[in-house]
Amino acid sequence: NAGVTQTPKFQVLKTGQSMTLQCAQDMNHNSMYWYRQDPGMGLRLIYYSASEGTTDKGEVPNGYNVSRLNKREFSLRLESAAPSQTSVYFCASSDNRGQRETQYFGPGTRLLVL
């Protein structure tokens, strides 16, 4: 049982390049999330998926797109990377979107945009 896995662990991009961050969970959770974490700030929600086939914008969705490929996988795509997107990206999953459920986080992807 690996929990939440993310690939790659680290990536360097040039401005304007595109890439996809991959996330998978093996806990049969319905909900999945993408966050970014910047120094001195709390995690901020980029996009979330309450269930397979649905996605919704979070606090900071601009410049990103997501795909809920199936129940296990939720990918985050940067179509044209910008230096402001340099951050650590975390994927998380939970059983429900209810307010009492625990979110389980992946190890993160560290992205540097030059």
Enumerate binding residues for other proteins (CB under 8 A): 4, 40-45, 48, 58, 90, 92, 97-100, 102-108
Residue environment code for 52-82, b if the CB has 16+ CB neighbours within 10 A, otherwise e: eeebeebebbeebebebeebbbbbbebeebe
Residue 80: CB minimum distance to other proteins, A:
27
Residue with smaller CB distance to other proteins, 46 or 113: 46
Nearest-approach distance from CB 6 to other proteins, in angstroms: 8
Least distance from C-beta 104 to other proteins, angstroms?
Answer: 8
Nearer to other proteins, 58 or 63 (CB): 58
- Count the Cβ atoms, other than its own, within 10 Å of residue 106: 24
